[in-house]
């Protein structure tokens, strides 16, 4: 395989990776947002029937989960902004500076990708776990109140 074919394969794999990552991130955001919408709808209908401790626990878990999710989304937008800034520097670079700048850009992107790939499962896992615990607590409280006749 010659160098041109290797380069084409690398470009294809990069584009495939980026498309998959973008779709996975968008899907995660959609699912988590739908989960929050459902949980807060249930919360709105039953919150007045919960004890102070139940409200505090459920609200605490939901808030922690939501803060992680929003923080991750904000970080993602910051990363995109930094990438756009770096690309604009590449576009504006002179011919003599371009090779060094593109090498730096590639190295920075590889480091960034590695960090994001390590962080995504942790952030997603913590977001879902905290939200799931809050939802489970809310469900248990609802069932308990229905069983004792407060429903």
pLDDT digits (tens, 9 = 90+) for 71-81: 988 998 898 88
Q: pTM for this structure?
A: 0.72
pLDDT digits (tens, 9 = 90+) for 2-41: 778 777 777 777 777 777 777 777 887 888 888 888 888 8
pLDDT at 119 over 70: yes
Share of the chain above pLDDT 70, in %: 98
Q: Which residue has the higher pLDDT, 122 or 87?
A: 122
- Comparing 11-25, 71-85, 113-127, 132-146, the range with the smallest average pLDDT is 11-25
pLDDT at 151 over 60: no
In whole angstroms, how far apart are CA 103 and each of 69, 90, 100, 109? 33, 10, 5, 10
HEC profile of 68-79 = HHHHHHHHHHHH
């Amino acid at each position: 395989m010659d160098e041109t074919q290797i380069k084409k394969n690398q470009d294809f794999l990069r584009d495939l990776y980026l498309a998959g990552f973008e779709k996975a991130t968008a899907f995660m955001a959609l699912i988590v947002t739908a989960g929050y919408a459902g949980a807060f709808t249930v919360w709105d209908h039953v919150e007045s029937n919960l004890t102070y401790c139940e409200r505090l626990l459920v609200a605490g878990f939901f808030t922690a989960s939501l803060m992680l999710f929003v923080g991750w989304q904000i970080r993602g937008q910051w990363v995109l902004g930094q990438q756009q800034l770096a690309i604009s520097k590449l576009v504006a670079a002179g011919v003599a500076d371009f090779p060094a700048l593109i090498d730096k850009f590639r190295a920075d992107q590889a480091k960034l990708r590695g960090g994001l790939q390590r962080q995504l499962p942790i952030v997603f896992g913590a977001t879902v776990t905290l939200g799931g615990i809050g939802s489970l607590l809310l469900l248990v409280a609802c069932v308990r109140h229905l069983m004792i006749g407060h429903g």
